[in-house]
Amino acid sequence: MRVLSGIQPSGRLHIGNYFGAMRQHLQLQEQNEGFYFIADYHAMTSGPKPDELRQNRLAVAMDYLALGLDTKKTVFWCQSDLPQVTELCWILSCVTPMGLLQRCVSYKDKVAQGLLPNHGLFAYPVLQAADILIFDSELVPVGADQKQHIEVTRDIAGYFNNTYGETFVLPKDHILKSVAVVPGIDGRKMSKSYDNTIEIFEPESSVKKKVMKIVTDSTPVESPKDPEKCNVLALLKLVASADELADWEKKYRQGGTGYGDVKKRLAELLIEYFKPYRQKRAELEKNIDYVKKVLKDGAERAAAVADKTLKKACLNIK
């Protein structure tokens, strides 16, 4: 099946991004036809500086390639390299009811977070629909909280199909298997907006420092601790074996284990887990021309598919 997903280049990717979605995106490419893109037009809704956006675009590309994106199995490109998508976005906007967009919770959430209420932010779901529909996407992996985006895309496709004839494939959502919310070093959900992240590819020394800063309660070393209420153990679950995790939980309940001990082990395991990816990332940093060529080739492959769908849509409205 054809699987499509996009990720915004809004900053350095962190382990919450990886364990929450990226790892499953990379797994899906093994048995499916992957279409993955860097959503730099979507990122513009938050008003990034041009130089920052350019740097983040390349950084995300290197991150995905280092983490195992296979360009033989997966088409990988930058959204801004395909003008066909924005052309389709306009066409779809002309059949999209205002009420549908007004009901989208993402716009209200973003404005509540402090983003300027610009038109791009409001019309975001239409561009997202164009991203999905132009590639005849069958599955779109999303978190449970993003299911509305796919429902809106299906609605927009339905409005167009009903008006101009069958044109677009109606995509299905693929709800990513939920992992426990990945906590940041302050205990809240790991997020760039909270400045509480552990980046995937930051220096090992920085990883150690951040892990040692993870917020814990004031339970004395000798006292028993609840493993279900510990931010450090929640992160350890992502990288430790089942046997080791069970051993730490036993130690917590017995007492006599300090948070510093488990923090040191977490730092070790995080560094060990991402070490091979870190080495690949370092190689890519020395070969930016290769990274740019991957995106260029991916855009050409994506354009070949997008052209066919856009042509069909244009013919139906003439």
- Using CA atoms, how far apart are residues 177 and 110, in angstroms rounded to an integer? 25
210 tagged catalytic: no
Tokens of 211: 């892990």
What's the one-letter identity of residue 295?
A: L
Cα–Cα separations (whole angstroms), residue 213 to 113, 185, 231, 261: 26, 6, 11, 13
DSSP per residue, 202-238: S-HHHHHHHHHT-------TTS---GGG-HHHHHHTT
Q: How far apart are CA 27 and CA 315, in angstroms?
A: 37
Contacts of 269 (CB under 8 A, 6+ apart): 236, 239, 240
Is 189 considered catalytic here? Answer: yes
Cβ atoms of 247 and 167 within 8 Å: the answer is no
Q: Identify which of 274, 294, 276, 272 has the alpha carbon closest to the alpha carbon of residue 62.
A: 294
Residue 50, judged by CB atoms within 10 A of its CB (0-12, 13-18, 19+), counts as exposed
Catalytic residue among 72, 110, 251, 308: 110
Distance CA 218, CA 203 (A): 29
Catalytic residue among 108, 189, 210, 312: 189
Q: Looking at 192, 237, 251, 312, which residue is catalytic?
A: 192
Q: Is 275 a catalytic residue?
A: no
User: Annotated active-site positions, please?
Assistant: 110, 189, 192
